[in-house]
Structure 1
Amino acid sequence: MGRVLRLVRIYLFFVSCFFIAVAIFLLLQLQSNRSVHMSSCATDCPANVAVIRASDEKHDADRRVAETAYDLLENMDVEGKDLLYVSTRNITRLKSICTALTDCSGFNSNGWLKTHTRTNIIPSNVNLYIKQHTTKHDIKHPVVSNNPNHHEFGGRFGLFASEYFHMMDNMKIYSYDVRIGAEMPDVHDYKYGVDQLFISLLKKSKFNTQDPVEATFYFMPTRCFAYRRSHKDRAVGGHIAAATVRDIVNWVKVSFPYWNASRGSDHVYICSHDMGGECSQLADHNLYKNAIGLFNTADYSEPWFVPHKDISLPHHPSHGENSLPVLGRLAREGAMERTNLAFFAGNLKRGRVRNTIYSLYAQDSYFHLVHGYLPDEAYYKFLSTSKFCLIVRGFRAWSPRLLDAIWFGCVPVIVADWYALPLQGLIDWRDIAVFVPEAQVSKLKTTLTSLSPHKLHQMQDEIRKVSKHLTWNDPPQPFDAFHSVLFQLWTRRHITRTI
């Protein structure tokens, strides 16, 4: 009898377990619009990481996704800092899950949700999505991993990435709605088009603010090139440009209190034409002395460029499909043999040093010097098959050939004394360019032939890394020319205002 009772108890125990399991199952099924279900972790996952499977059903987090913005870092990831793994590659679903989780600061395109997205950032074959609304786990000043691979940023960007993200979270720029000079139409030009592009990108960017009180900087959208080209005569056009800039500054001073609060020290203007800072010659002297200029013409020897405050622009606006950056990247990937030592195409009679180079090397088989215009196809071929590209001072120190060379992987040879190169400080140009003083062009061939194949390869590899920092995009991409210029501006933000 006792044996029968024990069997009955065992039977009832299992029956109870069965009904409890059924009840739990039904309760789980009744939870409305569940989007993720916990399952056991795969064998290659960390023990403390759960695996989540994303459901195909719509849920309330879709609404929150629309309200939460994410920054995209292409070919970047966070080393470690894993919160959960989600077995989906659907970015919309990953956003909805991350948005719903307080502890999620972002995710990568492989499905790993991250607790932190401001630390240990490294190059990767995945993309990183960073939640703009920071959580309690985000730190104010992020740092980059000590992993040496972070140098894939190019130049010194890996060292400054912490402050870069601080800028991304905090920088605000108020753009004055300038009507003065609006009747002068934009002029599209591959050399002087950066001012129009920058104005457009800033207006559409997250940095643009309608509240001048919260602004880090105040931007005067001067369209210097359009003003200059409003008249065919160079001198007359230059005077029109300077007068228009003067009128804009006067309007800002009279209409707003912000100029006088800092004597223009937190104000920014742009001129991508050759005249550069010379466009300020008729304006309030504080424009030249205090305001930050964004210029193509960045020459230490010229009085209108002040290197400690003004910024040398990545001066070539080419971007988009079939642009020079794209064609150059495709040419680099094609790995054409670089059989030519040095190449230059352009006016070899212009300026104080080009004619000397022409007379010394025009008949030298190591040099391909083309005086005058070269068709695009031939120009691209020489860029792709030359080891060095000569960047020689003409009327001004700067030249659009510099970025042509960078994009095609041709090592620039700078023959332009006192040229403040773009993004100096962020890019160490001695890692990617050869410098030959104007007075020593007779040693140009010796200098180039003495460079070892190993050193040349190192420079070409670094050029590949930094090229993205010198390239404009629409819309802008992380660490590109737009963000790099803004970052240099950000480092000049410590201004005391008196209202």
Structure 2
Amino acid sequence: MWSTKLSQPPASSYCSLQSSLLSLAILTLLSFTYLSLKSFHSPNSPSSETPSLIVQSSQVVRAEQEVLSDVYNSPEVFRLNYEEMERKFKVFIYKDGDPKTFYQTPRKLTGKYSSEGYFFQNIRESKFVTEDPNEAHLFFIPISCHKMRGKGTSYENMTIIVQNYVDSLIAKYPYWNRTMGADHFFVTCHDVGVRATEGYPFLVKNAIRVVCSPSYDVGYIPHKDVALPQVLQPFALPAGGNDIENRSLRLYKSVDLPTKDRCFVCTHFPCNTVDPSKDRCQSNRLTTLGFWAGHRNSKIRVILARQWENDTELDISNNRINRATGPLVYQKRFYRTKFCICPGGSQVNSARITDSIHYGCVPVILSDYYDLPFNDIIDWCKFAVVLREKDVYDLKQILKNITQEEFATLHNNLVKVQKHFQWNSPPIRHDAFHMVMHELWLRHHVIKFNGCKVPSILRLYKVVDAMLTGSLRLYKSVDLPTKDRTTLGFWAGHRSSKIRVILARQWENDTELDISNNRINRATGPLVYQKRFYRTKFCICLGGSQVNSARITDSIHYGCVPVILSDYYDLPFNDIVDWHKFAVVLREKDDLKQILKNITQEEFVT
């Protein structure tokens, strides 16, 4: 019997194979271990390149949270509008004018009118400027009345210079005439500059004024003009309200109160989060309830000083603190005060408000005629106390009635808005410059005139072809087809303004325009006046000496396309609806009949 014997590998080969397998197993185990440890460890211990990404991400998250803060009237709307502004907003700056008289970036951005200089410099540094006027949303007229004033130019000469300059722009470029200047803006922070521009009515009535004295009694129009925050930069002392650790070291030369006595004003932490037993950050250690020092240059300031200058809890002084008494004495008062009084004055007075915000002192606005900066965006009642002038007699009691919790909320919100009242060069997101640009962006929706080329008209509602006789709804609908509207244009009223006199004299005998000197006599038949709207294609709405918008709303209600014939009229909801889509908007000097006849039937139906 035979048998086959299996061959055995040599001992040396077997050992070599075993060693290789063992090495491979060890390497595999080490690889899995390394990968496991890396995946387990990386979230908490990022690589050397990761921390910067995480820090940047956290900063973006914090910035987003701040944008969505409740200090804004509508946080989400503000965020969306702001982002759209950053993407789309373009401004064309006129190049004309003597650079020594008009535009020239100031060498020093200091003083109480520095906001004007900062804006001039910031807009040049920003991405909003375009060289193509056709893509511009707004046009900047670079008139520096402050600079003219610094050269010793008189008020009368400033007015002449401004008028001549604007007239030259109107003559040379077509952009002003497209809107009568409604998409143009200029900036002035000097009260004399405000008066100088008032000498040219078109700038006041039509153009957007960005001014540091947004008081209604100087012709300021809140929904059209923009309040420019007046800021005295550079600030003498750091901002109040945050970084307590750093400020306690840096302020020993300028702040005469220890950190524990300054309490809430020097920290962003609410007082109720600190242990009272440690005698730190208790806002009742603030030694002054309210503070104001200034000149009695307005009625409310006179009353304020007389009523409270001898009070022991309110620090009210007739004049600004004498600088000779010590360095930065005036600024130090803000640090030790809970509420800083900001009464209206006869001149530019908003710097007191921005000082209060910067130094962490809750501002108390005491004025009946003042449009607060960025009022369309931020809710001032969340970080300030806004009072009427008649409340001055109860000022102390009102402030004392504010609880500690309410004060803590006001102060925390105050810190959140400090960045909006800070000018920078170059500008940064959400600073004063960008907030002003955002305000301008909200106002860039304007009516554009095209002469005899009338813009299209929006279809507001359908026109019915059948009369609803015997129903009260008759006068809520249109009882004639558009082709049966036999009258081209209609107006009846009193000659209570220059444009009405001209209209009546020019067209009252015309066969296609129904122009009457007086409203139709009601005795001739019921609702005769209203019925005229139904048979007319275009209802003419002129400016008068009194309230005249009822004629416009009558036209809209009765289905008669309104023709706005006025140089000085702010149309209702102009920021929301585009009037040239459903109305014909003309200047007072336009050729009325020819323009209306040039509108085709298709355009009218639209």
Q: How high is the TM-score relative to the length of structure 2? A: 0.57
Shift of 1:210: 1.8
RMSD: 3.6
What is the rounded CA distance, in whole Å, between the counterparts of 2:159 and 2:7 in structure 1? 109
Query: Which residue identity is paired with 2:229?
Result: P
How far, CA to CA, are the matches of 1:302 and 1:111 in structure 2? Answer: 46
Aligned: 1:43 with 2:40:
yes
Residue 92 (structure 1) aligns with:
none
Distance 1:434 1:467 in 2: 16
Q: What is the alpha-carbon distance in structure 1 between the residues aligned to residue 55 and residue 411 of structure 2? A: 31
Query: How far 1:223 sits from its partner (Å)?
Result: 0.6
Cross-structure match for 1:475: 426
Do structure 1's residue 311 and structure 2's residue 226 form an aligned pair? yes
CA distance in 2 between counterparts of 1:238 and 1:221 reads: 18
> Across the two proteins, how many residue pairs are aligned to each other?
388
TM-aligned CA distance change 1:328 to 1:450, over 3 Å:
closer
2:56 & 2:430 partners in 1: Cα distance?
24
Amino acid at match of 2:40: T
Is 2:160 the partner of 1:243?
A: yes
Offset, 1:397: 6.8
Q: Secondary structure at the match of 1:309?
A: coil
Aligned to 2:272: none
> What's the counterpart of residue 453 of structure 1?
404
Distance of aligned partners of 1:43 and 1:387 in 2 relative to their CA distance in 1, 3 Å threshold: same
Q: Does residue 304 of structure 2 align to residue 363 of structure 1? A: no
Between stretches 476-485 and 241-250, larger displacement belongs to 241-250
Q: Does 1:301 align with 2:234?
A: no
Deviation of 1:423 (Å):
0.7
Deviation sequence 1:196-226 (CA, Å, 0-9, x none): 2101110111111222222121111111212
**Equivalent residue, structure 1, for 2:114:** 193
Aligned partners of 1:191 and 1:111: how far apart in 2? Answer: 36
Q: Secondary structure at the match of 1:405?
A: helix
Query: Do the aligned partners of residues 53 and 454 (structure 1) sit closer, same or farther apart at CA in structure 2, a change above 3 Å counting?
Result: closer
Contact 2:213-2:349 within 8 A present in 1 as well: yes
- Return the match for 1:209 from 108, 116, 130: 130
3-state SS in 1 of match to 2:217:
coil
Q: Partners of 2:307 and 2:389 in 1: how far apart?
A: 13
Which of residues 93, 98, 101 is equivalent to 1:175? 93
Change (3 A) 1:178 1:309: same
The residue aligned with 1:382 is 333
Cα 1:383–1:110 change in 2 (3 A) is closer
Summarize the Cα distance change of 1:111–1:250 in structure 2 as closer, same or farther, 3 Å threshold. Answer: closer
The superposition leaves residues 166-215 of structure 1 with CA deviations (integer Å, 9 ceiling, x where unpaired) of 11111111111243362478586522121121011101111112222221
Residues 432 and 39 (structure 1), Cα distance of their counterparts in 2 relative to 1, 3 Å cut: same
Question: Does structure 2 conserve the Cα–Cα contact (< 8 Å) formed by 1:227 and 1:240?
Answer: no
Residue 479 of structure 1: how far off its partner (Å): 0.7
Q: In structure 1, how many angstroms separate the alpha carbons of the residues matched to 2:36 and 2:93?
A: 51
Q: Partner letter of residue 126 of structure 2?
A: S
In 1: Cα distance, 2:182 partner to 2:124 partner: 21
Q: Indicate the residue corresponding to 1:83 in structure 2.
A: none
2:198 is matched with which residue? 281
The correspondence of residues 68-83 of structure 1 with structure 2, limited to 5 A, is: none
In the alignment, the residues of structure 1 paired with residue 209 and residue 221 of structure 2 have an alpha-carbon distance, to the nearest angstrom, of 9
- Once the two structures are overlaid, the 10-residue window that deviates more, 409-418 or 268-277, is 268-277
Q: Distance in 2 between matches of 1:3 and 1:293?
A: 103
Q: CA-to-partner distance for each residue in 1:353-372, whole Å, 9 max, x for gaps?
A: 21222121111101112232
Change (3 A) 1:109 1:350: same
Match of 1:122 in 2: 61
In 1: Cα distance, 2:74 partner to 2:329 partner: 34
Separation in 1, partners of 2:318, 2:372: 25
Judging by fraction of residues, say which structure has more helix.
2
Q: Deviations over 1:100-144 (max 9, x none)?
A: xxxxxxxx46376x9xx9xxx6316xxxxxxxxxxxxxxxxxxx6
Helix, strand or coil: the match of 1:467?
helix
Report the CA distance between 1:327 and its aligned residue: 7.1
In 1, Cα distance between equivalents of 2:370 and 2:404: 27
The answer on 1:264 being equivalent to 2:181 is: yes
Asked if 2 retains the 8 angstrom alpha-carbon contact of 1:154 and 1:462, the reply is yes
Secondary structure at the aligned position of 1:43 is classed as helix
Q: For residue 121 of structure 2, what is the amino acid of its counterpart?
A: S
Paired with 1:44 and 1:485, the residues of 2 have a C-alpha distance of: 47
* SS of residue paired to 2:416: helix
Aligned partner of 1:291 in structure 2 is: 207
Aligned to 1:77: none
CA–CA distance in structure 2, aligned partners of residues 450 and 474 of structure 1: 41
Contact 2:239 2:359 in 1 (8 A): no
Structure that is richer in strand per residue: 1
Give, in angstroms, the shift of residue 300 of structure 1: 2.2
Q: Which residue of 1 aligns with 2:525?
A: none
Q: Are 1:343 and 1:382, in contact at CA under 8 Å, matched by a contact in 2?
A: yes
Could you tell me which of 356, 366, 379 is aligned with 1:415? 366
Q: Does 1:333 align with 2:262?
A: no
State yes or no: 1:110 paired with 2:60.
Answer: no
Tell me how far 1:229 sits from its aligned partner. 3.4
CA contact (8 A) 2:146 2:193 kept: no
Tell me which residue corresponds to 2:320.
Answer: 373
Q: Which position in structure 2 is the counterpart of 1:130?
A: none
Q: Are 1:228 and 2:149 matched, yes or no?
A: yes
Specify the alignment match of 1:344 in structure 2: 292
For 1:193 and 1:277, the matched residues in 2 are separated by: 15
Which residue of structure 2 lines up, in the alignment, with residue 95 of structure 1? none
Shift in Å at residue 495 of structure 1? 2.7
**Partner in structure 2 of residue 255 of structure 1:** 172
> Structure 1 residues 372, 150: closer, same or farther in 2, change over 3 A?
closer
Question: Which residue does the alignment assign to 1:163?
Answer: 81
Could you say if the C-alpha distance between residues 373 and 302 of structure 1 is closer, same or farther in structure 2, counting changes exceeding 3 Å?
Answer: closer
Superposed CA deviations along residues 241-276 of structure 1, whole A, max 9, x for unmatched, are 322221221121122221112221111101111246
CA distance in 2, matches of 1:325, 1:176: 37
- Please give the alpha-carbon distance, in whole angstroms, between the structure 1 residues aligned to 2:101 and 2:7: 105
Q: Structure 1 residues 415, 88: CA separation in 2 closer, same or farther (over 3 Å shift)?
A: closer
Contact 1:314–1:471 (CA<8 Å) still a contact in 2? no
Deviations 1:18-61 (A, max 9, x none): 9xx9xxxxxxxxxxxxxxxx999643668xxxx9978xxxxxxx
Once residues 343 and 382 of structure 2 are traced to their aligned partners in structure 1, the CA distance between those partners, rounded to angstroms, is: 19
Q: Which amino acid aligns with 1:237?
A: S
Structure 2: 5+ residue stretches without partners: 1-5, 28-34, 252-264, 268-280, 451-606
Question: How far did residue 401 of structure 1 move?
Answer: 0.9
Measure the CA separation in 1 of the matches of 2:73 and 2:192: 30
User: In the aligned structure 1, how far is the partner of 2:333 from the partner of 2:84?
Assistant: 41
Seen in structure 2, the aligned counterparts of structure 1 residues 111 and 465 have a Cα distance that, compared at 3 Å, is: closer
